[in-house]
Chains A and B, each alone.
Chain A
Amino acid sequence: MTAKIVRVLLVFTTILVLGFYLPDLYRNRFEKRANKSLLYYSEVTRDFVFAEERYDSLRQEVRMFYRDRAGNPLSETEYMRRLPFNNSRKLKMLGQMPDSVMGQPLTQEVLRSVRRMMLIGDKGFEYPLAPLFESQPGHPGVDLPEDLFRIGKRGIEFFHTTDLSIDTAKSRRFNEALTAAGFRAPARDIYGIPSTIKSRDDGYFIVDAAGRLFHLLMVHGQPRVRAIDNRFEIRQIKCHVPGDIYCHIFTPENELYVLRTDYSLCKLPIGPTNGRFMLTSNCYFRSYKNLGSDSSVMYVLDADFGRVDSCALPVASYRTSPQADVEARLFPFRVMTTPGYTHLIPVPNPVAKFWVTNLCCVVLLAGLRLWRRVRIYTPFQLIDLALTAVFGLYGLIAVLLFPNRF
């Protein structure tokens, strides 16, 4: 009896392992790269332009096709002219670079104001240690300090990296500044850019034990702490290199706030999102492209974060491909690992798709058992059939791998 129960446990383990590997094997073999669909906001026409990859059967190659929002086709040159920030080099070579946009000359400085970055609301692991840079070192860039800081129950502690000894004087000085600003230790999270590759340091944004947000800087070796009046829960903060904003703040509901350098908070007027954005900004507009699995929605905001326009574009993804449909018919679920804090998550497919495969597997298993003159009405043979009925191909392979003969 024990051996039979152990066998069922092993069958379950094998089903999990197969759910991890078989769909990936299938995808590696059959997945085709989806044609690109790109969506941009033109600063020239103040409207969206689209670029789509399509298969040109005449030339037997994949080509890019361009169109405006109304669906009118655009030539490649016209498309580039509408997006001077994206295509400045090519436009200059063609001698078609516009002199000005929205009445402002397109100088090198204006062209260099473009920023592109990913904003992701999901948290990954970060060590609760960071180097606190001198924010005004007297020269461009930052110097890597000799110490690191942590904010535990005893408050902020600076320790030397060479021997891990605590710098009590500096720790006390910074602790007093934090306490005076109303900070409650320990820190829940510390956000910042601990990189040395930046023109200036803007310090760290620290969420205290009560969920309040604080800005901590070191100026000429002295602490500078500022409490920020956040009246919402903070899930994640994405800090930026020096500019007109300090950071983007995600709430647990994936609402997005911006913290300006004057410490004012601004909730962005964008719809419900999944917390994954591609941000492109220049001195005119900021476009937040929410990257979904089936569609991208771009929200265009002006320099003061007022909503200008928005547009949704369905994107061709593997999920909508015929190969994905076959996969859903073959496998009842797939086990995947998540990034960041890693989980093993089973992602089920709709029963309506895979029940035929599962039924075939049950019939095949029952046929095999009968052919070998095995009585299929015993409890553990019925369990095998049930496992195959539920887990389809995985179940069939697993029960055949572990012989049910005792």
Chain B
Amino acid sequence: MILHLIYKEWLKTRWFALIALVAGVAAVVGILAGVASGVRADAPFFFYQVIVGKVRFFDLFRFVPLLAAVLIGCSQFLPEVTDKRIKLSLHLPMPPTVVIYSMVLYGFVLLTLLVGICLALFAGLGAVWLPGEILVPALKTMLVWVLGGMTAYFWIAMMAFEPVGRYRFGYFVVAGMLVSIFMRRYPIGGVDVLLEIFAGLTLVSSFSVLFTAYRFNKGIL
């Protein structure tokens, strides 16, 4: 039954996932094209700019995880809650928590896959022009934005299940403030400690849907 549920989610999200993937790959290709042309034109000067000027050559990726999260989250949950179709799923012969978590886990895995493909492309092709000493700090800085995207996804799922509009607005404000902390332009390579804190916040956010799903299921207003 879970496989059927996942298939239903796939039908809802596939085109939006494709858009997110295309956007992500385009951003990575754009970044790498900039790196390649910089190296081809004047490699010492390009590296001088990166090392001394701390040029953030990967900034194009900044909003890709957030965009992917919004696309997947909205395509997955908006149709379910606009006309309360989710109630059908919640009446399947499975515990509601399993149903909801299957949906959320599907979205999370899809988001991880999309962002993972982009990061793997960046790391794999980037290694042609960039040494590991530059690639690894860049990846770590990008990982903060990835965690921001994941957090945004979990809060979108949470907001979708909230039955009361004013509370949903409150969650939207908190989610906006929380995600904008992730989306700041942190110094390159200076996010080692921050990554642990942000991973913790993302983990806490991953449970958030349980709260509103319970309220939704009980029909609490």
Minimum CB–CB distance from A256 to chain B (whole Å) comes to: 24
User: Which of chain A's residues has its CB closest to B51's CB?
Assistant: A127
Mark contacts of A1-27 with chain B using CB atoms, 8 A cut-off: 1 yes-contact digit, 0 otherwise. 011001101101110111011000000
Known pairs A10-B211, A401-B167, A402-B211; A144 contacts B48 (CB<8 A): yes
Known pairs A10-B208, A13-B178; A340 contacts B190 (CB<8 A): yes
Instruction: Please choose the segment from B16-24, B69-77, B169-177 that sits at the chain A interface, where 4 or more of its residues have CB less than 8 A away.
Output: B169-177
- Find out whether the CB atom of B47 lies under 8 angstroms from the CB atom of A2: no
Docked complex Cα distance between A159 and B129 (Å):
12
- Find out whether the CB atom of A401 lies under 8 angstroms from the CB atom of B137: no
- Find out whether the CB atom of A341 lies under 8 angstroms from the CB atom of B190: yes
Known pairs A131-B44, A401-B170, A401-B171; A406 contacts B214 (CB<8 A): yes
- Find out whether the CB atom of A148 lies under 8 angstroms from the CB atom of B51: yes
Please name all residues of chain A whose beta carbon is closer than 8 Å to the beta carbon of B210 when the two chains form the complex: 2-3, 6
- Find out whether the CB atom of B131 lies under 8 angstroms from the CB atom of A159: yes
Please name all residues of chain B whose beta carbon is closer than 8 Å to the beta carbon of A125 when the two chains form the complex: 137, 187-190
Tell me if B12 counts as interface (CB < 8 A to partner A).
no
Interface residues on chain B, size class: 35 or more
- Find out whether the CB atom of A406 lies under 8 angstroms from the CB atom of B218: yes
Tell me if B186 counts as interface (CB < 8 A to partner A).
yes
Instruction: Please choose the segment from B84-92, B112-120, B192-200 that sits at the chain A interface, where 4 or more of its residues have CB less than 8 A away.
Output: B192-200
Docked complex Cα distance between A12 and B52 (Å):
40
Please name all residues of chain B whose beta carbon is closer than 8 Å to the beta carbon of A164 when the two chains form the complex: 129-131
Docked complex Cα distance between A405 and B164 (Å):
12
Docked complex Cα distance between A14 and B50 (Å):
37
Docked complex Cα distance between A162 and B177 (Å):
42
Tell me if A194 counts as interface (CB < 8 A to partner B).
yes
Mark contacts of A123-150 with chain B using CB atoms, 8 A cut-off: 1 yes-contact digit, 0 otherwise. 0110111110000000000001111101
- Find out whether the CB atom of B52 lies under 8 angstroms from the CB atom of A342: no
- Find out whether the CB atom of A343 lies under 8 angstroms from the CB atom of B193: yes
Number of A-B contacts (CB under 8 A): 121
- Find out whether the CB atom of A162 lies under 8 angstroms from the CB atom of B39: yes
Minimum CB–CB distance from B126 to chain A (whole Å) comes to: 11
Docked complex Cα distance between A128 and B131 (Å):
11
Minimum CB–CB distance from A120 to chain B (whole Å) comes to: 14
Please name all residues of chain A whose beta carbon is closer than 8 Å to the beta carbon of B51 when the two chains form the complex: 127, 129-131, 148, 194
Please name all residues of chain B whose beta carbon is closer than 8 Å to the beta carbon of A130 when the two chains form the complex: 51
Please name all residues of chain A whose beta carbon is closer than 8 Å to the beta carbon of B184 when the two chains form the complex: 337
Minimum CB–CB distance from B182 to chain A (whole Å) comes to: 11
Mark contacts of A240-257 with chain B using CB atoms, 8 A cut-off: 1 yes-contact digit, 0 otherwise. 000000000000000000
Minimum CB–CB distance from B203 to chain A (whole Å) comes to: 9
User: Which of chain B's residues has its CB closest to A10's CB?
Assistant: B208
Mark contacts of A325-346 with chain B using CB atoms, 8 A cut-off: 1 yes-contact digit, 0 otherwise. 0000000000001011111100
Minimum CB–CB distance from B158 to chain A (whole Å) comes to: 8
Please name all residues of chain A whose beta carbon is closer than 8 Å to the beta carbon of B39 when the two chains form the complex: 161-162
Docked complex Cα distance between A25 and B199 (Å):
26
Tell me if A95 counts as interface (CB < 8 A to partner B).
no
Docked complex Cα distance between A242 and B47 (Å):
24
Tell me if A261 counts as interface (CB < 8 A to partner B).
no
- Find out whether the CB atom of B214 lies under 8 angstroms from the CB atom of A145: no
- Find out whether the CB atom of A17 lies under 8 angstroms from the CB atom of B174: yes
- Find out whether the CB atom of B197 lies under 8 angstroms from the CB atom of A344: yes
Tell me if B102 counts as interface (CB < 8 A to partner A).
no
Tell me if A196 counts as interface (CB < 8 A to partner B).
yes
Known pairs A10-B204, A146-B44, A194-B51; A127 contacts B171 (CB<8 A): no
Please name all residues of chain B whose beta carbon is closer than 8 Å to the beta carbon of A10 when the two chains form the complex: 204, 208, 211
Tell me if A403 counts as interface (CB < 8 A to partner B).
yes
- Find out whether the CB atom of B190 lies under 8 angstroms from the CB atom of A342: yes
Minimum CB–CB distance from B90 to chain A (whole Å) comes to: 14
Known pairs A144-B44, A343-B193; A6 contacts B171 (CB<8 A): no
Docked complex Cα distance between A194 and B197 (Å):
33
Tell me if B60 counts as interface (CB < 8 A to partner A).
no
Please name all residues of chain B whose beta carbon is closer than 8 Å to the beta carbon of A293 when the two chains form the complex: none
Known pairs A161-B39, A406-B214; A145 contacts B134 (CB<8 A): no
Docked complex Cα distance between A401 and B171 (Å):
7
Docked complex Cα distance between A344 and B51 (Å):
26
Docked complex Cα distance between A318 and B144 (Å):
32
Please name all residues of chain A whose beta carbon is closer than 8 Å to the beta carbon of B50 when the two chains form the complex: 127
- Find out whether the CB atom of A339 lies under 8 angstroms from the CB atom of B187: yes
Tell me if B207 counts as interface (CB < 8 A to partner A).
yes
Interface hits, B102-152 → A, CB 8 Å: 129-131, 133-134, 137
Docked complex Cα distance between A401 and B137 (Å):
37
Tell me if B201 counts as interface (CB < 8 A to partner A).
yes
Tell me if A321 counts as interface (CB < 8 A to partner B).
no
Docked complex Cα distance between A16 and B205 (Å):
13
Please name all residues of chain B whose beta carbon is closer than 8 Å to the beta carbon of A147 when the two chains form the complex: 44
Tell me if A320 counts as interface (CB < 8 A to partner B).
no
Minimum CB–CB distance from B124 to chain A (whole Å) comes to: 14
Residue picked from A17, A341, A401, most chain B C-beta under 10 Å: A17
23 contacts between A and B (CB under 8 A): A3-B210, A10-B208, A13-B178, A17-B178, A17-B181, A18-B177, A20-B181, A124-B190, A129-B47, A129-B133, A131-B51, A144-B48, A146-B44, A161-B47, A194-B48, A339-B187, A341-B192, A342-B194, A401-B170, A401-B174, A402-B211, A403-B164, A403-B215
**Chain B residues at the A interface, C-beta cutoff of 8 Å:** 39, 43-48, 50-52, 97, 129-131, 133-134, 137, 164, 167, 170-171, 174, 177-178, 181, 184, 186-194, 197, 201, 204-205, 207-208, 210-211, 213-215, 218, 220
New A-B pairs, 5, CB < 8 Å, besides A17-B174, A125-B188, A406-B214? A130-B51, A131-B51, A344-B194, A401-B167, A403-B164
